[in-house]
Structure 1
Amino acid sequence: MGTNYRLSAAAAVVGVGTSAFGRFPDRSPTDLAAESLRAALADAGLERADVDGLVTNMGYPAGIDYDQFCALTGLQTELNLQMWTHGRWLGTAVEQAAAAVAAGLCRCVALVCASKFSVFAQLGGAEDHEASREGGGSHGEAPHVGLMAPASGAALAARLYMQRYGASEADLGAVPVAARAGARRNPAAWRTEELDVERYLASRLIVAPLRVHDFAQVTDGATTVLVMPAAQARDTPAPLTILGTQSLPGGRGEFVFGRPGLGLAQQEMTGFRPSARDVAVYGRSGVDRSAVQALYCYDAFSPLVWFTLERLGFCAEGEAAKFCAGGGIAATGPLPVNTNGGLLAEAHVSGWNNVVEMARQLRGTAGERQLPGVELAQWGSAFGDSFILAKEAR
């Protein structure tokens, strides 16, 4: 398992930046990405010449490839990695960047994510060629059994969870309600209308039990996160130490929109306790889970928050729904989640906007939504990837 493997004190996040979030018919993914890159460099006090590594999620059909991006933005890179546009690669991307700078393969990696979901939102259906490829679609679509879009898998996972553990639709509504409360304190957020559980239950169903508020926002936007060796990071204004990581797992027990044990796809229907692999990040970070003060996760659909809480061990099997309904993930709760509004209310930038929020919370620059005294924050997803950021080296 490599439980002694640690990146502690070896790599740090030194800069974060975003484009505007919204719907921009006249702007390309490259334009948005370049805006976020400029913002991150300014945040870190660095120049383009300081960046010699690139990890990007663009590429056909969502945008230009890494080499074109470097040419257009003036980057000269020694290390490049191009990933698929999906939040499941976020933790692995951070891990790869941290390992690269720790190993001396490059000095500074820019992790750049850009998306134009307002025009590239055809996932599922006859026009989605990915959905009909061998093995089904990239987000759990299986047209031969009627799962035609990503929401179908998420809805099925939520329904199985509700039937098995007695969770209700009102319990699920607590997740977007908490996200909207964070967004209402966030000037950059896309959805800031007031939402409570009563309004949630009165809203229209899309794929039962998921309602319109259980879906990520269809937005355009970009983020950049800069990673450097910790020793050099000390010369930047506000570095954040990457204490430890765990990357994306695979296997028959995995389903993209549900934790292991639910019985989806090739999963077995079993009881669930986090495996050593699910919680390796704590041993690698040298911190106890109870020390984490805020959690940030991929919330393209509301039930993914439930599955993240249980996979990482914050809640026992079947208890995440009641934890959320009881205010557990609110800003004033014991474990604030996605304080910016997340994908459900701020914007859909494949989860990277939540990493920017982590940095702002740890730096104390989150404005009206600032949590008091945050020193440790965790990224984790229902997919099984995770990393922990610290305000100071340990």
Structure 2
Amino acid sequence: MRSEGSDPSRMLDGFRDQLAATVVREHVSLEDAITLQHGLVDVAQQVMGSDEVFVEDYGQVRELATVGFGGGGRPRATARVEEVLARFFEVEDAVLVHGAGTGSIRAMLNGLVTPGSRILLHHAHPYKTTLPAMRHMGLDVDHVNLDDPSALERSLRDNPPDAVFFQHVPQQLGDRHDLEETISLVRSVRGAETRLLVDDNYAVMRSPRIGVQLGADASALSLFKLLSPHPIGAVLADSESVGRIRRDLSSAGCQIQGPQAMAALRALVFAPVALAVQNRTVLAATAAVNVGLGTDDYAYVAEAFAAQPGIRCMVLLFDRPVAEHFLRSAWRNGSPSQSVGEEAQFEFLPLFTYLTSTFLKASPGLEQYAVRVNPMRGGPDTVLRVLRATLADPEFRAAAASA
């Protein structure tokens, strides 16, 4: 969809239809989130009950060595946290890594894919650091439309890949494939010959199940985006693959120290409920905006969507190309203009910002008509108050009137 030479009303209708058609992955309810919290604590109690929960050690414990001469070990507290994650997500093993989501994706690729192998991706723009990680491994990257099961099956049979890489959350407007069904299709054609890897960032503790629980070989996730104060990630996979990752990262400087690991686990306990509340806020704020359409409070807003353009949020679609003016007004009227790493522990104020880059790259012109609002820890009243102030801003009104 091109902005130049296009009729604005047709473009707007196209964006509206595609936003409405883009899948929103199933989100856990508040009650189910409480169950997740209780389940995580129950597993932690079984692994580190009693006073072990307060032991946060440092260093490379020789009994946990991964290479020769007792080297490559990790702190006992780190090993306990990894065991909690593995048990909770129903997988053989887990490893904590530096670098949050990007670090975990790199480690997952390094641990499960041989350099130079052929890897199949969805026909969409991947996250900005994912493709460089594949390129640095010399992977033969191919694409197929995962929304088209027939095309996927043909690709699997005609040119079998060594690995298939999935992003759990939607990557572009119009994405609609079901992750579990897509994983099942690949398994039915390729069996265990092809490794199935899932980028589960922004899906963990939101979706009822993540990639490894849906039949994939490995999941990569960011604990930094799940309230950890440190930029830590994790890879969940079989013991052999996790062992390779540990050996690759056997240097002392690569280890996640005990206090960092425990801080990440303590924060993770609170993530399910926080994210379920956030989801409720998205739904409530979106409904309120749509009820108010046509009033002066919501001037220039064509429609609001409870969407998931990579990140769960409210998407605002404007009736004219004023998105940039709107955001500058929002940043004058209560929204931060920058992110630490969206949904990191340090962020709690509602964030008014651009749609994710993967969506914007796939839909030229969308950046002029749509923005997203992530409520973070705020409630609908706060989101709507900032939104109304943004739309009432005299400088924004002047720009919108002349657009």
TM-score, normalization by structure 1: 0.25
**Which structure exhibits the higher relative contact order, with contacts defined as CA atoms closer than 8 Å and separated by 6 or more residues?**
1
Greater per-residue helix proportion: 2
TM-score, normalization by structure 2: 0.24
